[in-house]
Structures are given as C-alpha cells and as structure tokens.
Structure 1
C-alpha cells in the first residue's frame, strides 16, 4: 500500500516514514507538513491512504480532508493526532475520515493503516468511547421514517461498530455480495456517499 504522511512536525513525519517502511508492508510516497501539502500530494500521488495530523499551519488537517474528500470521495484519510477534542472527532467523522487514532497509541498505527486499506473504519479505544455521546447531540433521526428496514438497520448498526462487509456478512449469516448490495441500497435511500455518514446516522437514531 502507498502512504502519504502529512505532519507539521518534521521529525514525526520522518520517524513515521521510517517505522512504516521498516514493516515491509507499505511504501511512503511522500511526506508533507501542512494541509496545503496534503491537497497537493493527494492530487499528484493518489495514495491508498493519507495519514494526517490535525493541527497544522497554513491549513488544518480537517480543512484539507474536507477539500480532498469533496474532490476525491474515494480518498481514505486516517487522522493521527495528539488531540482527542470532541469537536475534532465529530468533524473528522462528518467529513468521512476512515479513522482517528492518537499518537500516544503508537503501536496501533500500522494495524490501523492495514485495516483502513482493507476497507474498515478505525478509531482508537479512547475515541470509540466518545463517539455515541458526541454524535447523539442534536435532533434524533427516525430510521423507519427514512425508509430503513429492520435488516438494513442491523447492517447500519454493524457499520457503526466499524465492521467490514465480510464481518457483517458473518454476523448476519448473509453473503458478502448481499451485504454490499444492501449497503448500496441504504446509501441511495439516504443520499449518502460514505460509510462514515451511516455511523453518524445510526448514533443519532439510537439516542434516547
């Protein structure tokens, strides 16, 4: 897998490149240092994953991520930061980031990259604990009122847990193709483009 790293701390960027490439499982195509670099490098290199910090000069990682995903909806962005601010987590989810992990959880970086590459969403344990309460702030969403069936609601709930299509298929005793088709139907019903939007939708509907 091809990775682009963007972090305003040059030492961190170089260290991450060394660690990731030492695994032999990934190539770091470039290292950038702010959000503007991220936009340019993604457009030029089309990496499999963009591993990016949030607080940076010139343009933040969240601003850059929103711009990139607007132009390239297929982009896989994994945020790696020291900050677990509620606002940052919610914004990362809403723009469609594939993951949000903390730099303190250093050993999780490579497994997180591999999971995102495989199509999963990845959020560190500290982040996962916050998500339901964060996303349930605001008006509750009515699943049935949006035309979502019971089985579709089950699939949405498992997506919100971060399960892949294969894992969902195993949990619900369905074929992977059926799950994939069902997700396409759900996305069409709700006019969504990214799986992360389904997680937000689910947690709003689950609020008491």
Structure 2
C-alpha cells in the first residue's frame, strides 16, 4: 500500500517512514509537516492512505482531512496523534476519518494501516469507549421519516454496537449478503458514507 505521512515533527516522520518501510507491503511515497502540505501531497500522489497528525501549524490535520474528504468521498485518512481530546475525536468521526489511534500505541500503527487499507475503520479501545457519550444527544429522531424500516433499524443498532456483517446476519437470521445489501441501502437513504458515520448517526439521534 502507498502511504503519505504528515507530522509537524520531522523526526517523527523519519521514524515512521523507517518503521513502515520495514514492512514489505508498505511504501511511504511522501512526507509533509502541516495540513497544507498534506493536501498537496494527497492530491499529487493519490496515496492509498494518509497517515496524519492533528495539531500542526499553518493548517491542522483535521482541517486538511475535511478538505480532502469533501472532494474525495472514498479517501482513507488515519489520524495518529498524542491527543485524545473529545472534540478532536468527534470531529474526526464526523468528517469521515477511517481511524484515530494514539502515538503511544506504536505497535498498533501497522495493523491499523492494513485494516484501513482493507476498508475497515480503526479506533483504539480508549477512543471507542468514549464514542457513545461524546456523540449522544437528547434529541430523538424518527428513523421512519427517513424511510428506515424496523429491520433496517435493527441492523443500524447492531452496526453501532460494532458487530460485523456475519455477526449481524447470525443475530437477525439473515444471510450475510442480505445484511450487506441492507447496509448499502441504509447508507444511501441517510446520505452517509460508511459504517463509522452510520454508528455516529445512530448514537447522535437515538
């Protein structure tokens, strides 16, 4: 996989490049040190994944990611930061980042990149535990107003609980293909991009 690394600490960039390129399936095709460079590198190099810090001068990683994902809905961005501030986590989820991991958990960087490359979303345990309380609200949403059926709401609920398509199929006595098709339909109905945004939508509106 082709990865662009952006961090305001140049030594961190060098270290990450060394660590990642020790893996046969990973190539670091570019490095940068602020959000503006991240956008330029992403547009010019079209990496499979952008691995980016959050707090940086000139433009933050969150601002860069939002700009990139507004234009490229399929973009894969993984945040790697020392900060687990609630506001950062919520923003990362809402703009559609594929993951948010903490630098101190360095051993998770390579597995996280591989998971994101395969289409999964990756959030460290310390981040996942915060999500429901961060994005829940007292506002209730009538899901049926968006054309969501009871069966689809059951699927949404299980997606929000972190179950895989196979696990959902077993729980609801459906085929895995049926679950996959239903999730695609649900995402289209709610104008959402992926399972992570669907989980955020559920917790925000339940």
TM, length-normalised to structure 2: 0.91
Matched, 1:10 2:10: yes
Q: Which residue of 1 aligns with 2:182?
A: 182
Q: Which residue of 1 aligns with 2:28?
A: 28
For 1:37 and 1:162, how far apart are their aligned partners in 2? 34
Q: Which residue of 1 aligns with 2:136?
A: 136
For 1:60 and 1:195, how far apart are their aligned partners in 2? 25
Query: Secondary structure at the residue paired with 1:22?
Result: coil
1:44-89 deviations in Å (ceiling 9; x for gaps): 1111111110000110000000000011110010000000000000
**Structure 2, unaligned stretches of length 5 or more?**
none
Q: Which residue of 1 aligns with 2:96?
A: 96
Kept in 1, the 8 Å contact 2:137–2:205? The answer is no
The worse-fitting range, judged by mean Cα deviation, of 190-199 and 60-69 is: 190-199
Q: CA RMSD in A?
A: 1.9
For 2:115 and 2:168, how far apart are their aligned partners in 1? 15
Kept in 2, the 8 Å contact 1:160–1:198? The answer is yes
Aligned CA distance change for structure 1 residues 121 and 159 (closer, same or farther; 3 Å): farther
Q: How many residues align?
A: 206
C-alpha displacement of 1:114: 0.9
Q: Which residue of 1 aligns with 2:79?
A: 79
Query: Secondary structure at the residue paired with 1:185?
Result: helix
1:140-185 deviations in Å (ceiling 9; x for gaps): 3333443322332233234334555566556655444333321221
Aligned CA distance change for structure 1 residues 138 and 88 (closer, same or farther; 3 Å): farther
Aligned CA distance change for structure 1 residues 100 and 152 (closer, same or farther; 3 Å): same
The worse-fitting range, judged by mean Cα deviation, of 41-50 and 81-90 is: 41-50
For 1:25 and 1:189, how far apart are their aligned partners in 2? 36
Kept in 2, the 8 Å contact 1:141–1:201? The answer is no
**Structure 1, unaligned stretches of length 5 or more?**
none
For 1:120 and 1:7, how far apart are their aligned partners in 2? 23
For 2:172 and 2:120, how far apart are their aligned partners in 1? 17
Q: What stretches of structure 1 move > 3 A for 4+ residues in a row? A: 161-177
Query: Secondary structure at the residue paired with 1:5?
Result: strand
TM, length-normalised to structure 1: 0.90
